[in-house]
Amino acid sequence: MKNYQSMLKLILACPQTSEANPLERDLSKYFDHNYTYWLNDLKGQKLVSGFTKLANYEGTSKNLWIVRLTDEGLHYFDKRKEDNRRFWFRSFLIPIAVSFITTLLTNAVAHLF
């Protein structure tokens, strides 16, 4: 699995900042370091629209990370699952159906002559 996929899974597992905005996630529980590189990678892939780091949140030494997902980022794994299903259908099931129909036609022609 690629690094950005692991990071996206972690982001999706984080709690939403509010019920009104399901695209914003609070990463403070998992992040206490500077993960700007990984978040910029996700932003480059258009899975994250932006992120904010609030240092010394509420007078503590804890950093607050808020990440805003895009719709594509929110549904990335669902789309990937659908793409894989479509791939297997085209690569596996259609050739089997074509060979089955070809065999039936070949046998029908052979019995006619």
- Percent of the chain at pLDDT > 70 equals 83
Longest CA–CA span in the chain (Å) reads 91
Condensed to tens digits (0 to 9), the pLDDT of residues 58-103 reads 665 666 778 888 888 889 999 999 999 999 888 888 889 999 999 9
Cα gap 59→79, rounded to integer Å:
41
pLDDT band at 105 (very low <50, low <70, confident <90, very high): very high
Condensed to tens digits (0 to 9), the pLDDT of residues 14-52 reads 878 777 777 888 877 766 566 777 788 888 888 888 887
Whole-prediction pTM value? Answer: 0.62
Pairing of strands 16-18, 48-54: unpaired
Provide the residue type at 71 as one letter. Answer: D
